[in-house]
Amino acid sequence: MMTLLRSACSGRAVLTIVLGLAVLLNGAEFRNTATTGYNFLNLPVSSRFASLGETGISLPDMGSEALFVNPALSAFHPGKGDLSLSYGDWYLDTEQNAAAYIRRFSFLGTLGLSLYHFDFGSTVRTRNFAPEEVAALQDGDLNTYRDLGKYSSAAYAAALHFARKTTGSFAYGLSLNYIQETIAEYSASNMAFNVGFMYFTGIGSIRVASYLKNFGLEGAYVYEKFKLPQSLSLGVSGELIGSMDDPTRLTLLLEAVNPNDIGEHLHLGGEFRWQGLLTLRAGYKFAYDAEDLSLGLGTRFTLKGRSVRLDLAYMDHDYLQSTLRTSLSLEL
C-alpha cells in the first residue's frame, strides 16, 4: 500500500512539474523563428537517439548516452559506471564529437560528465576592394574581393550532471552546461540548465518522461543578442513484445517537442531487439521541412567481462547529404 501511495504521489509530482514547464515555455513569447543561437545543441548526439527519430527520453537503459538525451535516465543504470563515445558527420564536411561518463553512488545518486565538440570547418575570409584598389585592377580581372586567408569556427559544451531515484519508479536529473562558440577571433559563451524526469506508470510497461533543455539567459555575439535554443519534450514508451529486460523485445516510442523558435513537432520511434545481440531501429519526425526518416542498428557483446554496445544511425535529409553517426559504449 505504501509503495502504491508513493508511486501515486510521484506521478502527481511529475504531472505538476510538466504542466508548470509547459506554462513557462508558452508564456515566454517563444514563437520567434530563427532567433536562437548555439543551435548545434539541437543536433542529436547519441546514435541510438538519432536512429529512433530523436525519441528516447523515456528509455531507462540509455547508459551514459542519457546525458545527451535525458539525464534522469542515468539513475536507472544498473552498473557502477558507463562510458560512451560518439562521432557524427553533418552537412558540408562539418562533424561532431562527444564523450559521456556516469558513475553511480549508492548513497548519493548518479554523477556524470559530458563533453561535446562541433567543428564547423574553415571558411575563406574576404573583403571588398577599396576604391583605390579597384582603380588599380587590370582589365579583365573579374575578382571583386580580396582574399584574406581562412578562419575556423567551432562550438563546445561541457556539462556536469546529477540524477537520483526517489522511488523505484521515479527519477529526476539535472545538468549544468557551459557553452562556447567561436568564429575567427570572436566568441560567445553562456551557461544553460537542463532538467528531466522519468516515471514508470505501473500500467503495463508504459513509461512517461519530460525534458526541459537549454534553459538560461540570453547570449550575445559582440552586440547581437540571441536566445538559447530551449525546448520542452514530453514522451511515452512501452513494449509491444516482451519487456525492457527481455533479450527479445519490441519497443514503441512517441514524443512531442515544443521548441522556442519553431512550431511543435511529433516524433515516432521503434526498436526491435533480437536475442540480446542485434537491435534494429527506425524513426520518423513529423512536420519538418527537410528531414523525416531515420534508421539504425546496434549490437551488444561482452569483452573481457564488460558489456560493449556499438550503434549506428542514418538520417535522411531532403536537400543536403544524409548523415551518419556512430556510438561506442562500455560498462565500467
What percent of the chain is modeled with pLDDT above 70? 83
The mean pLDDT value for 164-191 works out to 93
Cell 559530458, residue?
Answer: 114
Total domains, the chain:
1
Q: What is the pLDDT of residue 316?
A: 84
Span 251-287, pLDDT tens digits: 999 999 999 877 888 999 999 999 999 999 999 999 8
Residue scoring higher pLDDT (157 or 148): 157
Model pLDDT, residue 8: 44
At residue 220, the pLDDT reads 80
List pLDDT tens digits, range 45-103: 999 999 999 999 999 999 999 999 999 999 999 989 999 999 998 877 789 999 999 99
Q: What is the CATH number of the domain that holds 97?
A: 2.40.160.40
Q: Is 23 left (phi over 0), alpha (psi -120 to 50) or beta?
A: alpha
In percent, the amount of the chain with pLDDT more than 90 equals 60
Task: With a cut of 90, say whether residue 132 has pLDDT above it.
Answer: no
Q: What range defines the domain where residue 11 resides?
A: 2-331
Beta strands in the chain (DSSP E): 81-89, 95-105, 109-128, 145-165, 170-183, 186-200, 207-215, 219-221, 224-226, 231-241, 249-259, 265-274, 278-286, 291-303, 306-317, 323-331
Lowest mean pLDDT among 49-58, 220-229, 234-243: 220-229
29-46 residue pLDDT tens: 444 555 688 989 999 999
Report the predicted TM-score, pTM, of the whole model to 2 decimal places: 0.85
Coil, strand, or helix at residue 122?
Answer: strand
